[in-house]
Structure 1
Amino acid sequence: MHKRQLITGGKDITEATKVLLMIHGRGGSAQDILSLSSYLEVADFTLLAPQATNNTWYPYSFMAPPAQNEPWLSSAIDLLKGIVNEIMSNGISTENIYFLGFSQGACLTLEFVTRNATRYGGVVAFTGGLIGDKVYPENYKGDFNGTPVFIGTSNPDPHVPVERVYATSNILKDMNASVTEKVYNNMGHTINQDEISLANSLILNPSSIHT
């Protein structure tokens, strides 16, 4: 299953007050997703990017029945749980732990935080939704307590139906997340500049907004 392989960036965790966990997509790598940090306002963050075995977190579509993606899905969630516990053992509370993922990494990010809802620093999901052939509300517990969440996606997207994005937003809102969802017409399966700007202004550095 997935082994703990972390690429790090930004501040040393002994000096940082905030940590951003960056989750790569299918076929991508920890180095790929970490390179996105040059566009993000993360000067005060420790950056942690785990590497999936064979560059894939789980084998089938996120819309497949969850059992088809086992045991890899549970292994990926357990890996993230272990990393979060390590971060907290360094004296950093969940309020200062942030998550960012793209595509398969966005799905895994949303699945992890919603199964373990609490007050996080913030969550950025570039094109993703909760995992399964349908949404399984019984899998999700906790209270986001106002955690800011940004979900951006294309309509259409070749991998993520916009209906699943809407359903995901509704679940998170019901669990008291502060969700901003933005759908871009015919954007394609990518990340655009507007999404980067919103991730910075809404999640990573809200104090940078100038009136």
Structure 2
Amino acid sequence: MTKIKTAGVPLNQAQKAAILLHGRGANADSILGLSKYLKLEEYALLAPEAEEGSWYPYSFMAPDESNKVALAASLEIIKTAWKQIVDSGVSAEHVVLIGFSQGACLSLEFAAQNAQKLGGVIAFTGGLIGEKVQSDKYSGDFGNTKIFIGSSEKDFHVPLSRINESETLLSRMGAKVKLSIFKDSNHTIRQEEIDWVNGNIL
């Protein structure tokens, strides 16, 4: 049974909602901890938790078959959280997807596979999932949804080339993509990223 932890404004009272997706080896509580830094006071928060801390077993750029089953199951988990939000009466344009690392990749992938006007997508170190970026996997129009991707220019897990490819495709689908690429090599969330997101999306 999928575990989806909740926090913030009760969903039946909320006008805004966020789906928060943790990184590999983390859990729902850890990503909910971001709410101390992000301006999410008005949001219902839903944080699904991956089985054994991983949304898919291999690199997000591994051959597609190797992650196929786990990735499909993880996207279904997000769809479950999404359905809870929409069924409660919160409109898609007031829903924000937020993820770190593996969760950031998953946030971008879910958004691109279900492109529409959203409240925003916040990807702290991530890119679209797949051995290659395949534009025929995606359809829809983001309608100027703001998408933030922040990362190191030499992150060990997420190459800058994939971030740039992701930006190109997402922009072509009608998103307004903001890249913040840093000179350090830290796999982390930086204060500059928090400040931009708080000032421009939340």
Per the shorter chain, which TM-score range? over 0.9
1:160 alignment partner in structure 2: 158
**In 1, distance between residues paired with 2:164 and 2:9?**
35
Q: Distance in 1 between matches of 2:191 and 2:160?
A: 20
Work out the CA distance in 2 between the residues paired with 1:28 and 1:199: 22
Q: Give the alignment partner of residue 19 of structure 1, picking from 14, 17, 20.
A: 17
| 1:108 lines up with 2:91 in the alignment | no
Q: 1:117 aligns with which of 75, 93, 115?
A: 115
Deviations along 1:90-135, one digit per CA (max 9) or x if unpaired, are 0111011111000000000100000110001001000000011110
Task: Indicate which of 155, 168, 171 corresponds to 2:169.
Answer: 171
Partner of 2:138: 140
Following TM superposition, by how much is the alpha carbon of 1:187 offset from its aligned partner in structure 2, in angstroms? 4.1
Report sequence identity in percent.
44
Given that 2:4 and 2:81 are in contact with CA atoms closer than 8 Å, whether structure 1 keeps it comes out as: no
Moved over 2 A (4+): none
Q: TM-score, normalised by structure 2?
A: 0.98
Distance in 2 (alpha carbons) for counterparts of 1:203 and 1:66: 32
> RMSD of the TM alignment (CA)?
0.8
TM-score (norm 1): 0.94
Report the Cα distance in structure 1 between the residues aligned to 2:41 and 2:80, rounded to whole angstroms: 25
Q: How does 1:11-160 map to 2 (within 5 A)?
A: 11-160=9-158
- Give secondary structure in 2 for the equivalent of 1:133: coil
Residue 70 of structure 1 deviates from its aligned partner by 2.1
1:25-80 alpha-carbon deviations (Å, 9 max, x no partner): 00011000000110011110011110000100000000101211021000001111
1:143 aligned partner, one-letter code: D
Report the AA paired with residue 62 of structure 2: A
CA contact (8 A) 1:106 1:128 kept: yes
- Note the alpha carbon deviations across 1:12-35, whole angstroms, 9 max, x for none: 011111001100000011000000
Counterpart residue type for residue 180 of structure 1: K
SS for the counterpart of 2:12 is coil
Tell me, which stretches of 5 or more residues in structure 1 are unaligned?
205-211
Q: Distance in 1 between matches of 2:43 and 2:84?
A: 16
Question: Quick check: 2:97–2:107 contact (8 Å CA) kept in 1?
Answer: yes
Which amino acid in structure 2 is aligned with residue 19 of structure 1? Answer: A
Secondary structure of 1:173's partner?
helix
| Equivalences, count | 202
